[in-house]
């Protein structure tokens, strides 16, 4: 009887480790995709900012603030900070 319980516990631990590994890998994939998305969205701003046309530079400076705010919001959304804050407001814990 004790041997059966031990086998069940070991199987549950193995399943838990496998699920943790899958979640960690999924988290790494989401971070990688997010980094690529952010990099692609910053390319037009960087090209305009370092160009020789003064009007494009001025427009790039104006878009820079919006891009920084958008990147910050995206990072905190992906990292779960927004979920944690809303969860804290709703549940109080």
Alpha helices in the chain (DSSP H): 2-49, 54-79, 81-91
Please name the residues in contact with 37: beta carbons below 8 A apart, sequence gap of 6 or more. 74
Per-residue pLDDT of the chain (93 residues), as tens digits, is 555 666 666 666 777 777 778 878 887 888 788 888 888 888 888 888 787 888 888 888 888 888 889 888 888 877 777 778 777 888 876
Sequence-ordered list of residues with C-beta below 8 angstroms from that of 57, at least 6 positions apart, any chain: 48, 49, 51
> What pLDDT is recorded for position 5?
67
Provide the token pair at 25. Answer: 């890998």
The structure's pTM equals 0.57
What is residue 57's predicted lDDT score, i.e. its pLDDT? 82
Residue 8: predicted pLDDT? 65
Tokens matching residue 69: 């705010």
């Amino acid at each position: 009887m004790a041997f059966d319980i031990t086998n069940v516990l070991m199987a549950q631990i193995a399943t838990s480790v496998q699920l943790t590994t899958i979640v960690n890998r999924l988290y790494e994939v989401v971070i990688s995709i997010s980094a690529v998305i952010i990099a692609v969205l910053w390319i037009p701003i960087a090209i305009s900012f370092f160009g020789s046309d003064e009007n494009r530079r001025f427009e790039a400076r104006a878009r820079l603030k919006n891009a920084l705010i958008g990147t910050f919001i995206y990072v905190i959304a992906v990292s779960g900070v927004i979920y944690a804050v809303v969860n804290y407001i709703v549940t109080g814990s």
